[in-house]
Structure 1
Amino acid sequence: PDAQEGELMYLRFNTSWNASAGLNLSYDLFSPEKVNRVGEQKQQLKIQQYDERISEKELREQVAIAYAECVIAEEQLRSCVQDTTYYALLLSNAGDLYKKEQLSLVEKNKAQQAYNESVANCLRAEKIAADARANLLFLAGAEVTPQTVATLQLEEDIPTLLSKMEQHASTSVTGKELEVMKQLERVSLAALRTGSAEWKYAPTLSLNGYLGTNYYNNELRLFNDRYWRGNSYLGLSLKIPISQSLTTAKEVSRLRLQQRLEEASLLEIRNRQEKERLQEQSQLVVQRESYRLSEENMAISEQNLEAAQMQYEKGYILQQELLSEQLKAQFARQSYLQAAYDLFTGLVTMKH
């Protein structure tokens, strides 16, 4: 049809050479495999965001516990320093009494042993406090050097810190709630994938086109534009997945099972969290009472130690009895510090 009047043109089947050059175009007007692709990507992005928020919550919890460990370690160090000072005075007094032959060698040696143990405890407490400060700086993202570890100062003591934790009402989403939200998104993602697989039973409608030209001639002269003729077209195609139905059926069955597993996992998470919540609440009641009692016992032990010191100075009791009261006071302080740590970790767990 492009030839001039009286012009003869070669056809494809009666020439020695033929060639084609062009651009193939294809656009899916409806593709079952792409129905929920954007939705799946959005769900995966939400799951990743929840993972990031959960990781942030866990880091905050670690920092809070590390701060409490620092406060308790500093309190333990102060207590050990006081004990060492006390035992040093007691040892000095025992040495004077021994020289005056008012104290036996056994009693003097017991005072020396008590002092040595207090020095060792003090050294261990210094290391524990330094390690706790270094851990806090590390988790907080600060530079960890001997200088920063040595100069780190904490504002709160144990009662102040626990009081703030008891009064603080967290309005942010907890880590447990984030875990449930994340699993809900996983259930939604599984449902989308199942729906996408079911859509694969539907046919694919595509718009196809070809923009190009063809060459027909008995001689190969590709750069002679007289023998190039246009041959473009535009059409619709419908692809029916008859042979893929069995594969699609297996995929749908597998994804439905995966969806049920995700739903069962959501139920398990909720039940587990409810069980943990009840356990944490009852445990927190025990921890609060244990802290109150240990604080009361520590105060009583301090009073007993003061009374024993006065009796010892008046000669009413022996040095061995005084050392026994001092040891009881140490145990009471250790129990108090442990109870404070348990209560703080319980509060952090409940609020995060």
Structure 2
Amino acid sequence: MRKILFYMCCLMPVLGYTQSLSVEQLWAEMTKGNAYQQKQIEKSIKNEDLQELRSNRIPVFYLDANLQRNLIIPTTPVPAIAFDPTAADGAIIPLKFATKWSSKVGVQMEWDLFDPKRGIQEQQKRLDIDRASINLEKQVQEWKIDATLAYAAVVLATEQYALAVEDSISYQKILTIVKKRYDEGREGGTEYVQAQQELERRRINLYEAWSVLVDSDLELRRFVNLDSTKVLSSNMNDIGSFAHALRVNNYELETLQLDQQMNELQQRELKKGLLPTVKVNAYLGEQFYSNEFRLDRGADWFGNSFINLALRIPLSTYLSIQPSLRKSALKQQLTELQLVEEQYDDQIRGRQKAVKIEAAVKKLASYQAIEKLSIENKSIKEKEFEAGRILLVELLQSHAAFQQAKRERWQASYDLLKISLKTE
């Protein structure tokens, strides 16, 4: 009896704190999870990718400055007749077209005035954001499912442990009766030994139930901090109601639909690559030339400014694009087939799930009826044993049937919950 009370006291550190935790409160803790925050950051990164691409629409301005010391001034041969009309035909004159010091300071502007791929690329970035949103929603759904199942496991493990404690206490009373009868000579030694063995088995069941409860508690701590939690306030009926209200989506379908849209954009991007691009470059500044390092001398600075309009027309792309277009078309065809297959499989899984839920509900109802009958039978056998009308073995059989009925009902409850939550 002391050992039983000891284990009941040991249960308190697991659940013995200051407040309760319902399934609804558990779901509210989802945003504090590390996995959720990772997916949220990934979505934010995709948003910033789009903003970064949009910022490329405006011209890029930057300051361009340099200072150069020519250690050896290069010499360039030029026709002598350009400077001396009387020079002989073919004569050349070596000239130096640089100074010892040169510098440049100005503002440079670059602007992609027309890029046919830009609109497609922005649409691709938006699809990346949609994909990140789907991943976030999928993470939320998976977290709720796994956390709810872990919560239910603790609820059932708590019931199992409470039953093990109750059974151990109850059997302690049975052993007292058997011992009294043995001392009075109304019970044989074999029955007394058997009764003591059964008490040890009850203690083993108690140890195992405690181990399952602690393990379930630790599993639930993967999803929520239980340091301030005293009890789990939702029972299996409450959990089932939340599970029924949870809409379980097939995000694989949504992902394939995004893949289909992305393939279409890639095909359009390839075709847009055949169009010309237009870029504008401009510069406004001054250049310094002198054999003396006198940057403060204004006479040695000369203005320099230009605007450059560059038109780029692809030529070889017309020849090399065909394999890429065929590859993109095949990818699109593959995605369409996968989407059709997934839609069909999703319908089949939905029907299978409905059948499984219906069977699980009936199974649970039957096990609940069996449990109720086993409780009545156990009560009858206990009274008959106390009156001395049946042997110990018959009483133990009724206890075993009762415990088996409890375990079957617990398992049926958990199976129904799992079927309701899972998409498979």
Q: 1:63 to 1:36 in 2, by over 3 A?
A: same
- Please report how far the alpha carbon of residue 59 of structure 1 lies from its aligned counterpart in structure 2 after TM superposition: 0.7
The answer to whether the 8 A contact 1:28-1:206 is kept is yes
Q: For residue 137 of structure 1, what is the aligned residue in structure 2? A: 221
Alignment of 1:1-352 (within 5 A): 16-17=97-98, 21=104, 25-140=109-224, 142-144=225-227, 148=228, 152-158=230-236, 160-161=237-238, 164-165=241-242, 169-170=245-246, 174-176=248-250, 178-212=251-285, 223=295, 225-226=298-299, 229-349=302-422
What RMSD over aligned residues (CA atoms) do the two structures have, in Å?
Answer: 2.9
Q: Distance in 2 between matches of 1:245 and 1:20?
A: 44
- State the 1:213 CA deviation: 5.1
Compute the TM-score of the two structures, normalised by the length of structure 2: 0.69
What is the one-letter code of the residue matched to 2:232?
A: L
Instruction: Give the direction of change, closer, same or farther, for the CA distance of 1:214–1:306 in structure 2 (3 Å limit).
Output: closer
Flag structure 2 segments of 5+ consecutive residues without an equivalent. 1-82, 84-93
Aligned pair in 2 of structure 1 residues 340, 188: CA closer, same or farther (>3 Å)? same
Distance 1:292 1:79 in 2: 21
Structure 1 unmatched runs, 5+? 1-9
Kindly state the Cα deviation for residue 163 of structure 1 after the two structures are TM-superposed.
6.0
Quick one: distance in 2 between partners of 1:157 and 1:230? 84
Structure 1 163/214 Cα, relative in aligned 2: closer, same or farther at 3 Å? Answer: closer
Distance, in Å, in 1 between the alignment partners of 2:230 and 2:217 is 7
Contact 1:58 1:175 survives alignment (8 Å): no
| Aligned residue number for residue 4 of structure 1 | none
Q: Compared with structure 1, are the counterparts of its residues 33 and 247 closer, same or farther at alpha carbon in structure 2 (3 Å cutoff)?
A: farther
Paired position in structure 2 for 1:5: none
CA contact (8 A) 1:40 1:189 kept: yes
Paired residues of 2:248 and 2:421 also in contact (CA < 8 A): no
Relative to structure 1, the CA distance from residue 212 to residue 328 in structure 2 (aligned partners, 3 Å threshold; closer, same or farther) is same
Matches of 1:244 and 1:119 in 2, distance apart? 80
Query: Helix, strand or coil: the match of 2:356?
Result: helix
Q: Quickly say closer, same or farther: Cα 1:23–1:251, change in 2 above 3 A.
A: farther
State the TM-score, normalized to the length of structure 1: 0.82
Larger helix proportion, structure 1 or 2?
Answer: 1
- How far did 1:54 drift? 0.8
- C-alpha distance 221-247 of structure 1, shift in aligned 2 (>3 A): farther
* Contact 1:215–1:222 (8 Å) recurs in 2: no
Q: 1:99 to 1:192 in 2, by over 3 A?
A: same
Aligned residues: 328
Change (3 A) 1:165 1:124: same
> 1:235: Cα distance to partner?
4.0
Residue of structure 2 equivalent to 1:3? none
Q: Which has a greater percent of strand? A: 2
- Tell which has more relative contact order, 1 or 2 (C-alpha 8 A, sep 6+): 1
Q: CA deviation at 1:203?
A: 1.4
Superimposed CA distance per residue, residues 68-92 of structure 1 (whole angstroms, 9 cap, x where no aligned partner): 1111111111211121122111111
- Kept after mapping to 2: 8 A contact 1:97/1:103: yes
Distance 2:264 2:175 in 1: 76
The answer on whether the counterparts of 2:152 and 2:239 sit within 8 Å (CA) in structure 1 is: no
Alpha-carbon distance in structure 2 between the residues aligned to 1:233 and 1:72: 80
